[in-house]
Amino acid sequence: MPGEQGAEQRVRELRALLQKASIAYYVHDAPILEDSVYDRLYRELQELEKAYPELITPDSPTQRVGEKPASQFQTVPHRIPLYSLENAFNLEELREWQERLLRVLGRSPDRDPHDPESHSGTESSQEELDYVCELKIDGSALALTYINGVLERGATRGDGQTGEDITQNVRTIRSIPLRLAVSDPPPVVEVRGEAYLSIAEFERINQERRSAGDPPFANPRNCAAGTLRQLDSRIVAARKLSFFAYTLHWPEGWGKGDPPKTQWDCLHQLKAFGLSTNPLSRLCRGLEEVSQFYEQWRAAQLPYAIDGVVVKLNSLALQEEAGFTQKFPRWAIALKYPAEQVPTRIRAIVASVGRTGAVTPVAELDPVVLAGTTVSRASLHNADRLRELDVHLGDTAVVRKAGEIIPEVVSILKELRPANAVPYTLPRHCPECSTPLIRLEGEAVTRCPNPKCPAKLRGQLQHWASRDALDIEGLGEKLVAQLVEKLGVVTVADLYHLTAEQLQSLERMGSRSSQKLIQAIQKSRQQPWERVLYGLGIPHVGVVTAKTLASHFSSPDLLAQASPETIAQIYGLGTEIAEAVVAWFAEPEHRQLLEALQALGIPPAPTQAAATVAKVLAGRKFVITGTLPTLSRTEAKSWIESRGGKVTASVSRQTDYVVVGSEAGSKLEQAQQLGIPLLSEAELLALDPTAEFGDPHH
């Protein structure tokens, strides 16, 4: 993209600011942005990257569930990951979310939930429209672990996989019991919830800070997060944090008591344990009742801050069936309250070409302030959106942003349209290479089909060299442009044939810097398969998905041979990712690229043991019941999943094996009735002949 115009520049600006804000917030406890402003900028970046997937880089704030924990506290892994939630900003987006959910569950979204003739009539098909609505408290997420009823650990959310151990601070929160209020608790209970400050307490703290000459906190959420990460727990105790619990992870297979079957049951069980839950939560039948709940609290005066409603599928069995996308649970969504809208003039519209060839119109605006930030660009998405809005150059547009959304044009004020304004349409030829643009039937995106389009080549090379991919230090945007334009680099494999002498012919590349870059390029040949897989730029394969795929398929050849069904059944993936991966490997030019890379030793060849691990249990479904002799349930589950298997919570005719330990429950009886093979722990481990007996991490 030439100059500073278009989406590429906007993405760079957003990333730089969001990363600076994240470090200030999470590491230095000195926020530089209002939380709502950060949310809106984040959503702007998220939507830009959705419109221009070729601009996604591994160091983008959107490529991680959360942010890096600070170093002052010990980093600890979460036993169960903390996922973020997808956002909806109006009731129409909520309905679209439900339609996607119903399709994932194999139920037509067109069925009338109140008409027994319009669905199968089973209990599960009725449950799919039962939701629990909870106010979205503006605080800081916590993960609590109770061992035999006693609080063992309290941790921050961190990046969703690891957090900071702040147990001493958590113990000061009086609404978090140090011991569960039951005589016979489960051996392990995981609780998730929100630490928050009441508005009154927030104002008291800020008044004290002003009196002491300290800067006030920006909002209650920042104050809560900063409080939790104080090294002196006496400060935490003095600030009187509160806590609402909202998620309970009951130990699977625990034989005493009836495990919760719904989210509503979980909230009641949390209260029975002595934990505080939000009393305003409501069990809703269908989206009509969800909408009523949403509207009820839109402008309510509450003693704490909220920014929306969290909507969760009530049935835990259906939650498990719905599963997760790469980042979000499919069975829950945050329904945010809308933000302000402002008018501004469209000065120009730029067509941006990205790594995949997608051409996206971006409106350049007269700068306008929204919630304390200046907005000067807004995506117009595609040709359909242009036509729907009837956009003319010089129009006055109504722009909004909310939460984690890119500034978007909501409507055009046609009454203010200049007399000589002309409608804008996407160019017919690529602005980068002049190739005629195409739009495939059924797609909203207009693309440049030229595989050697300079914009696409630049994007692919930048992605390959990025930090979470091959991490080639020194291979920046300007140098990449010269490699394409002056040295004729076409594929990432071409990088490994460059010489220092060639690089010295480029601007600002002397002998020393050229040699240093060659060393960095050659060093990248040792990067592991998961980084190479991410660097290939396969649609829908981000950093987390690449790691998951690499753990199941230890080489490009194994992944290339996998069927979409095999990939889709891996926990955390799904049909969309599976089809994208299979389609990518089916392209002849991609196979040629892989052959060229493998000839260079990229990625390094896996060990035979690793190759065996990648496929030995692929496609098989397991259920674990009872207590195993040496492995915990988590270890056994990890051992199975690392070898391609899937562990489910319930026994069905699709189950391949039931792993049985001592004190097995009803699942053993169900397996016997269905004639499903039973395995001991030793027999399970024997399914992988290369693994050391009893070693779940081999």
Query: Is residue 85 marked as binding?
Result: yes
What's the angle, vertex CA 556, arms to CA 552 and CA 562, rounded to 5?
60
**Is 37 annotated as contributing to ligand binding?**
yes
Residue 176 near residue 192 (C-beta atoms within 8 A): no
Instruction: Check if the beta carbon of residue 600 is closer than 8 Å to that of residue 521.
Output: no
312 in a known ligand binding site: yes
Instruction: Using the CB atoms, write b or e for 11-47: b if 16+ within 10 Å.
Output: beebbebbeebbeebbeebebebbbbbbbbbbbbbbb
Hey, what are 491's tokens? 């594929």
Q: Is 336 assigned a ligand-binding role in the annotation?
A: yes
Is 261 annotated in a binding site? The answer is: no
Dihedral pair phi/psi, residue 438, rounded to 5° = -130, 160
Q: According to DSSP H, which parts of 487-628 are helical?
A: 500-504, 511-523, 529-535, 543-552, 556-561, 564-568, 575-586, 588-599, 608-615
Q: Helix, strand or coil for residue 616? A: coil
Q: What is the 3 state secondary structure string of 98-158?
A: HHHHHHHCCCCCCCCCCCHHHCCCCHHHHHCCEEEEEEEECCEEEEEEEECCEEEEEEECC
- Tokens read off for 470: 């091959």
26 is in an annotated binding site: no
Residue 84 annotated as lining a ligand binding site: yes
Q: Regarding beta strands 150-156 and 140-147, do their DSSP bridges make them parallel or antiparallel, or are they unpaired?
A: antiparallel
Q: What is the largest CA-CA distance in the chain?
A: 82
Tell me whether residue 582 is annotated as binding: no
Q: Confirm or deny that 153 is annotated as ligand binding.
A: no
Angle, CA 518 vertex, CA 517 and CA 520 arms, to 5°: 60
Which residue matches tokens 């660009």? 377
How many other C-beta atoms are found inside a 10 Å radius of the C-beta of residue 347?
13
Alpha carbon distances (Å) from 187 to 254, 445, 659 = 8, 52, 20
478 marked among binding-site residues: no
Type of residue at 60: S
The closest of 641, 638, 640, 658 to 649, measured between CA atoms, is: 658
| Rg (alpha carbons) of the chain, rounded to whole number | 27
| Residue 400 annotated as part of some ligand binding site | no
Distance between the two ends of the chain, CA-based, in angstroms? Answer: 48
- Number of CB atoms found within 10 A of residue 658's CB: 23
User: Of the listed 20, 50, 68, 136, which one is catalytic?
Assistant: 136
Show the beta-strand stretches assigned E in 430-541: 446-447
Q: What is the DSSP letter of 183?
A: S
Nearest to 218 by CA among 30, 388, 461: 30
Q: Is 136 annotated in the active site?
A: yes
Give CA–CA dist 521/499, Å, rounded: 10
Whether 405 and 89 have beta carbons less than 8 Å apart is answered as: yes
448 is in an annotated binding site: yes
Sign of the dihedral through C-alpha 11, 17, 20, 21 = negative
Please give the backbone phi and psi of residue 591, each rounded to the nearest 5 degrees, phi first: -65, -40
Ligand-binding site membership of 38 (annotated): yes
Q: Is 430 annotated as a binding residue?
A: yes
CA–CA gap between residue 24 and residue 40 (Å, rounded): 17
Binding residues: 35-39, 84-85, 134, 157, 194, 312, 336, 430, 433, 448, 453
Question: Which residues does the annotation mark as catalytic?
Answer: 136
Binding residues for Zn(2+): 430, 433, 448, 453
Binding residues for NAD(+): 35-39, 84-85, 134, 157, 194, 312, 336
